[in-house]
Copies of this chain bind each other. A is one copy, B any other.
């Protein structure tokens, strides 16, 4: 949707409130109260057929009486009256409307019909709808409050670098409150509810384009429009906007992963996970984590590297933080040897390596501690400084002395992100924050957030925009079941490496072809009806002569015919026998939400028992493919263990990327593609898809 429409929704010059109430606690009264109290500078048109004034403001009897078409209409009327209200908005020429009422699609079939009716009414005149069943929006910069959320009942929220985009109004309110509690300002807040029209992706697309936004907290149960969603994620990366996502529905995956079929292995949750990873979005496991990371992003500058210096008065706290840091991907790099000596001279009892433990003795001589920390920061080259203060700052006098010491000690290290962990009353925490410190109560939460900063930065440099792809030409895929030979012909054209193969018709003599290919050979049954060849004796290995090939062909055809009398047999396929290499599995399936998804895993038990597979949505480049390969638990097997050669990971990455481009172009023509196994040979020796199955698009219902 065009950006200007969302401008009307989130940055309106005029607002109509349909169902305006004199009672500021009611759904029709609260938005009016907010708009009045906040000091919104646009025009406000309360609509109420029964009153001349509402909350002291001039009210209009109906929409038709408004002096002009407002940029946005807030619909605070019951579900049953909404369709009519939408019609009137449309007639008035209003561009956007926010529908608060519940009782639509979420409430069953009748509600669903009513929602559709409302949407049809809006569409007739290009009126765009947010909701229904949503809590609305706010823009704290312009003091525009198009919401009845009680979260603003006590206090408004200061504008700031965080924005919130949430399908759930309750969740959106909850995290808005948590942000306020943490001292985080919120610029834009959008709840999308039933998403009959404007959805999360639309909102994200607009929000990540606003220059004030550094981080978006998003919440979704599902995604309606893949392309717009991906577009928003890509734009966020270009604009250096971090997205911290809470996507619920993780627990489904357990059940879905039970099947070993490519598509079922995914489960939409695993695909969602992959998409977020692919586009550098952090998926939070808890709401607290979401807030903790957002807090770090709002205060962090450019992240150059992942070196963390830990300063502590207590060895145990230091070790605890080092433990967490390793898990979060931070480098607890030791101080240079010479600098360690300097620290030792200042404080003989100190442990100067990193964590740097100044011991409680440092607290008895704060000027010395100042020099000590200055030396640590000057010589340590740390991106992150984490000072562990424990419950020290609970004492107000001590809190001040300590703050001044850390301020002085860290002032010459502007490129280092200065973090502290402490328990202290909120007002003391604020004092530290005002001096530029990030303050966390829990060390593990701090470290996790710093790890997220590093991941966000890495993702920014790694992701390639989908517009950069030069997608391949389209190949026609037959819209019927194919045998392996036919599937491979298509995949070869697409650039997937396969062995030379010759198809021998049922009545043809195989010996000439066999001699041409050379020995030993593998023979496989060619039949679109038999995707599982081993089950019908449709594979013979290690055929060493023309005679063996002839005998094998006759036996195979006879045997398969007996076991699968109704199968159409196209003959047999001859191909050279290849030894060595590591078996991997590559597949593509069409995900309901995200379209073609490429899966990769090692063969056998790795997939079947350990579910050790990974996903990317198509298309993606070589770098993403390499990241994908490195993600599986068994990656070390490809790097070479027990003195083995490393596998040809470059060629494997090329195959995955090539297949992803093919899948992107032909998504409408197949349900799934399986390359199982793909043999990965030693470094520089390439990869080979040994078997291939393309399941064409099933007929649409």
A637 contact set on B, CB distance < 8 A: 605, 609
Question: Which of the residues B150, B326, B442 comes within 8 Å of A288, measured between beta carbons?
Answer: B442
CB of A334 within 8 Å of the partner chain: no
CB of A170 within 8 Å of the partner chain: yes
- Of residues 351 through 375 on chain A, the ones whose CB sits less than 8 Å from some CB of chain B are 359-361
Q: Which of A138-146, A310-318, A499-507 contacts B (4 or more CB under 8 A)?
A: A310-318
Q: Which of A51-59, A242-250, A557-565, A682-690 contacts B (4 or more CB under 8 A)?
A: A242-250
- Of residues 200 through 234 on chain A, the ones whose CB sits less than 8 Å from some CB of chain B are 219, 221
Question: Which of the residues B392, B444, B609, B641 comes within 8 Å of A150, measured between beta carbons?
Answer: B392
Residue contact B168 to A315, C-beta cutoff 8 Å: yes
List the B residue with the shortest CB-CB distance to A155.
Answer: B394
CB of A286 within 8 Å of the partner chain: yes
Question: Which of the residues B107, B168, B360, B608 comes within 8 Å of A642, measured between beta carbons?
Answer: B608
Docked pose: A390 CA to B178 CA in angstroms:
10
Docked pose: A445 CA to B292 CA in angstroms:
15
Docked pose: A246 CA to B249 CA in angstroms:
31
Residue contact B317 to A168, C-beta cutoff 8 Å: yes
Shortest C-beta distance, A208 to chain B (Å), equals: 22
CB of A512 within 8 Å of the partner chain: no
CB of A395 within 8 Å of the partner chain: yes
CB of A103 within 8 Å of the partner chain: yes
Q: Which of A176, A249, A326, A609 has the most chain B CB within a 10 Å cutoff?
A: A609
Residue contact A287 to B609, C-beta cutoff 8 Å: no
A170 contact set on B, CB distance < 8 A: 313-314, 316-317, 360, 390
Docked pose: A398 CA to B608 CA in angstroms:
52
Residue contact A174 to B390, C-beta cutoff 8 Å: yes
Question: Which of the residues B176, B398, B444 comes within 8 Å of A285, measured between beta carbons?
Answer: B444
A169 contact set on B, CB distance < 8 A: 314
A315 contact set on B, CB distance < 8 A: 106, 168, 221
A443 contact set on B, CB distance < 8 A: 286-287
Residue contact B634 to A248, C-beta cutoff 8 Å: no
**CB contact under 8 A between A153 and B316, given known A444-B286, A605-B641:** no
A106 contact set on B, CB distance < 8 A: 315, 349, 359
Docked pose: A441 CA to B250 CA in angstroms:
21
Docked pose: A108 CA to B347 CA in angstroms:
13
CB of A467 within 8 Å of the partner chain: no
Residue contact B608 to A634, C-beta cutoff 8 Å: no
Shortest C-beta distance, A646 to chain B (Å), equals: 14
A317 contact set on B, CB distance < 8 A: 168, 170-171, 174
Question: Which of the residues B288, B323, B609, B641 comes within 8 Å of A444, measured between beta carbons?
Answer: B288
Docked pose: A619 CA to B664 CA in angstroms:
58
Q: Mark A285-308, 1 if CB is under 8 A from B, else 0.
A: 111100000000000000000000
Docked pose: A171 CA to B349 CA in angstroms:
19
A642 contact set on B, CB distance < 8 A: 608
Question: Which of the residues B107, B167, B173, B444 comes within 8 Å of A287, measured between beta carbons?
Answer: B444
**CB contact under 8 A between A323 and B249, given known A150-B392, A170-B313, A174-B390:** yes
Residue contact B327 to A154, C-beta cutoff 8 Å: no
Residue contact B395 to A249, C-beta cutoff 8 Å: no
A423 contact set on B, CB distance < 8 A: 174, 177-178, 181
A285 contact set on B, CB distance < 8 A: 444
A174 contact set on B, CB distance < 8 A: 317, 390-391, 423
Question: Which of the residues B167, B327, B349 comes within 8 Å of A107, measured between beta carbons?
Answer: B349
Residue contact B249 to A319, C-beta cutoff 8 Å: yes
CB of A235 within 8 Å of the partner chain: no
CB of A536 within 8 Å of the partner chain: no
Residue contact B248 to A320, C-beta cutoff 8 Å: yes
Residue contact B349 to A103, C-beta cutoff 8 Å: yes
Question: Which of the residues B316, B398, B641 comes within 8 Å of A248, measured between beta carbons?
Answer: B316
Residue contact B288 to A445, C-beta cutoff 8 Å: yes
Residue contact A246 to B320, C-beta cutoff 8 Å: yes
Docked pose: A154 CA to B392 CA in angstroms:
12
List the B residue with the shortest CB-CB distance to A444.
Answer: B286
**CB contact under 8 A between A248 and B323, given known A168-B316, A445-B288:** yes
List the B residue with the shortest CB-CB distance to A150.
Answer: B395
Docked pose: A615 CA to B615 CA in angstroms:
33
CB of A276 within 8 Å of the partner chain: no
Docked pose: A394 CA to B176 CA in angstroms:
12
Docked pose: A63 CA to B398 CA in angstroms:
34
Docked pose: A423 CA to B106 CA in angstroms:
26
A580 contact set on B, CB distance < 8 A: none
CB of A66 within 8 Å of the partner chain: no
Docked pose: A288 CA to B395 CA in angstroms:
21
A395 contact set on B, CB distance < 8 A: 150, 153-154
Residue contact A394 to B610, C-beta cutoff 8 Å: no
A360 contact set on B, CB distance < 8 A: 102, 170
- Of residues 599 through 618 on chain A, the ones whose CB sits less than 8 Å from some CB of chain B are 605, 608-610
CB of A151 within 8 Å of the partner chain: yes
Docked pose: A103 CA to B398 CA in angstroms:
24
Question: Which of the residues B154, B176, B251 comes within 8 Å of A322, measured between beta carbons?
Answer: B251
Docked pose: A120 CA to B285 CA in angstroms:
53
Docked pose: A276 CA to B391 CA in angstroms:
28
CB of A636 within 8 Å of the partner chain: yes
CB of A254 within 8 Å of the partner chain: yes
CB of A633 within 8 Å of the partner chain: yes
Docked pose: A389 CA to B55 CA in angstroms:
30
Q: What 9 A-B pairs come out closest when comparing CB atoms?
A: A170-B314, A168-B316, A286-B444, A251-B326, A248-B319, A177-B391, A250-B323, A174-B390, A251-B323
- Can you report 21 residue pairs joining A to B where beta carbons are below 8 Å apart? A102-B360, A103-B349, A106-B359, A107-B348, A108-B348, A150-B392, A150-B398, A168-B315, A168-B317, A169-B314, A170-B317, A171-B390, A177-B391, A248-B319, A248-B320, A249-B319, A286-B442, A288-B444, A288-B445, A605-B634, A609-B641
Residue ranges of A at the interface with B (Cβ–Cβ < 8 Å): 102-103, 106-108, 150-151, 153-154, 167-171, 173-174, 176-178, 181, 219, 221, 246, 248-251, 254, 285-288, 313-317, 319-320, 322-327, 348-349, 359-361, 390-392, 394-395, 398, 423, 441-445, 605, 608-610, 633-634, 636-637, 641-642
**A609-B634, A609-B641 provided; 8 other pairs, C-beta below 8 A?**
A103-B349, A168-B317, A174-B390, A248-B319, A254-B326, A286-B444, A605-B641, A608-B642
